[in-house]
Amino acid sequence: MKLQFGNFHVKEIQFGTETKYENGVLTINKEEALAVVREDEHITEAELVIARPGDKTRIVPVKEAIEPRHRIGGGTIFPGVTDELMQAGNGTTHCLKGCSVLVVGKHWGGFQDGLIDMSGEGAKYTYFSQLQNICLVADTDEEFEKREQQKKNRALRWAGMRLAEYLGKVVAELQPEEVETFELEPVTKRTAEVQALPSVVYVMQLQSQMEESGYNDLVYGWDTNHMVPTFMHPNELMDGAIISGSFMPCSSKWSTYDMQNNPTMKRLYQEHGKTINFLGVILSNLNVALEQKQRSALFVAQIAKSLGADGAIVAEEGYGNPDADFIACVVELEKAGVKTVGITNECTGRDGGSQPLVALDELANAIVSCGNVSELIELPPMETVIGELQALARDGLSGGWDNDPILGPSVREDGSIIMENNAMFCGDRVLGWSTKTMVEY
């Protein structure tokens, strides 16, 4: 497979009479864009707001992030999800870099939603504070889940994808400012020089814990709860084959933007043919029952060994129950003779004193930590709130609370907040963005 990303670097976003891209400036006709959002009759209210790096702005509850793109030659940027199923990972896709579509609840949040600060102390906890963000602030008539802690957020998430496709079309006919090329030969057709290098496979453990459809990550539109570990080409995964689900404490979640721009995958590509032979990606799952966990670990190890992998990187979307899947996968790979490095966050409690992962094993002796989900964070008030600040406390966001007997309310009267890292939108960045780690005393 050969994939080319034609990149356009967005330096500024503004509203205007025409949706266009010119000299680093993305101009959006707001009414046209909102008409795309409102194609779903379940959208009852919608607005677009721009959030820029350095703004004294807080955004909550954030549900999803998507990079605007356009597939040259036709076809959706999310095959099997927003349109007909087709192969991703071949051809050319144009990308608006340096910006994202953020899907934000106008009122209602939930366990899986998070917070972004565009400046100040909070900005360092999330990658999205560095981007020019088009915030789709919307509400729906999905009354059945408004006050549910777990929300599918379907209408809002799909609206975000449609908006990203609408914006991506502005560069359909333009010449890219930069072209990135990603190409891997079939595993058995590589040169002797490449074959002689250490062979490495990348294992992505996607969130799939919910047995009811509508919550989990999707692969070509397929609910990951129903999949078994599968070998895939990395190009597919960077080119829209995966979309984020609506489950998992938010700092641990992988947004669709993260899937589209997976830094670990890109670094493996950079090293391919130089220091390693990058075999590809094994997509695995994170289910609930112990037998399911063990079965998936055995599948992963068998695929890696059959491919001839010398080493593996395992990345886990989540923590808690999924830690058992994560450790089981690392252990089975090691038992199969595949040297393995794991990447995950930890849940060591607010005092940092608890066991970091639910499951541990002596064979899991090389783990990269992306920080403690329970770390307490205090943030000052912001001049502007996009969405609804009270959602952090009222709606069961994983890092906020209505009232704590010792700490008081998560949202204070002056607009300052105290919360756990849990509520930072995709803050732990296990796919490779993370700037955090644990400190060993």
Report the predicted TM-score, pTM, of the whole model to 2 decimal places: 0.96
Q: How confident is the model at residue 440 (pLDDT cuts 50, 70, 90)?
A: low
CA nearest 117: which of 48, 62, 56?
A: 56
Residues whose CB falls within 8 Å of the CB of residue 135, separated by 6 or more in sequence, listed in order? 48, 49, 50, 51, 59, 102, 104, 386, 387
115, two tokens: 């917070």
Is 438 contained in some domain?
A: no
State pLDDT tens for residues 73-89.
999 999 999 999 999 99
Query: Which residue segment(s) compose the domain that 44 sits in?
Result: 2-423
Separation between Cα atoms, residue 117 and residue 104, nearest integer Å? 13
434 part of a folded domain: no
DSSP letter for 337, please. Answer: T
CB atoms closer than 10 angstroms to residue 191: 10
The count of structural domains within the chain is 1
Tell whether 182 is covered by a domain: yes
Q: What is the dihedral of CA 271, 70, 132, 29, to 10 degrees?
A: 170
Percent with pLDDT over 90 in the chain = 92
**Mean pLDDT, to the nearest integer, of 412-438?**
91
**Alpha-carbon torsion angle 54, 55, 56, 61, nearest 10:** -110
3-state DSSP assignment of residue 158: helix
Residue 430 lies in a domain: no
Residue 429 falls inside a structural domain: no
Is residue 371 domain-resident?
A: yes
- Those residues with Cβ within 8 angstroms of residue 202's Cβ, 6 or more apart along the chain or in another chain: 234, 264, 265, 268, 278, 280, 281, 282, 312, 313, 315
194, amino acid identity = V
Residue 169's pLDDT is what?
98
Mean pLDDT of the chain, nearest integer: 95
d(CA 237, CA 109): 28
414 burial level (CB within 10 Å; 0-12, 13-18, 19+): exposed
What is the Cα–Cα distance from 55 to 51, expressed in whole angstroms? 7
Task: Check residue 361 and give left, alpha or beta (phi > 0: left; psi -120 to 50: alpha).
Answer: beta
Q: What is the Cα–Cα distance from 160 to 65, expressed in whole angstroms?
A: 8
Question: Average pLDDT for residues 155-179, to the nearest whole number?
Answer: 98
Pull the structure tokens for residue 242: 């995966």
Q: What is the pLDDT of residues 170-210, one digit of tens each?
A: 999 999 999 999 999 999 999 999 999 999 999 999 999 99
CB 8 within 8 A of CB 174: yes
- For 10, 77, 166, 168, 413, the CA distances from 177, given in Å and listed in that order, are 11, 20, 20, 15, 47
Rounded Cα distance, 438 and 15, in Å: 42
Q: Which of 378, 387, 382 is nearest to 410 (CA)?
A: 378
pLDDT tens-digit map of 347-385: 999 888 899 999 999 999 999 999 999 999 999 999 999
Q: How far out from the chain centre does Cα 310 lie?
A: 28
Q: Place 11 in a pLDDT band, splitting at 50, 70 and 90.
A: very high
- Whole-angstrom CA distances from 156 to 39, 72, 103, 246, 417 are 11, 26, 7, 11, 26
Helices and strands of the chain, counted as H and E runs? 9, 24
Tell me the DSSP string of 275-333. TBEEEEEEEEEE-SSHHHHHHHHHHHHHHHHHHT-SEEEEEES--SHHHHHHHHHHHHH
Whether residue 30 is contained in a domain is answered as yes
Exposed e or buried b per residue across 13-47, where buried means at least 16 C-beta atoms within 10 angstroms of its C-beta: beeeeebebeeeebbbeeeebbebbbebeebeebe
pLDDT-derived band at 167, boundaries 50, 70, 90:
very high
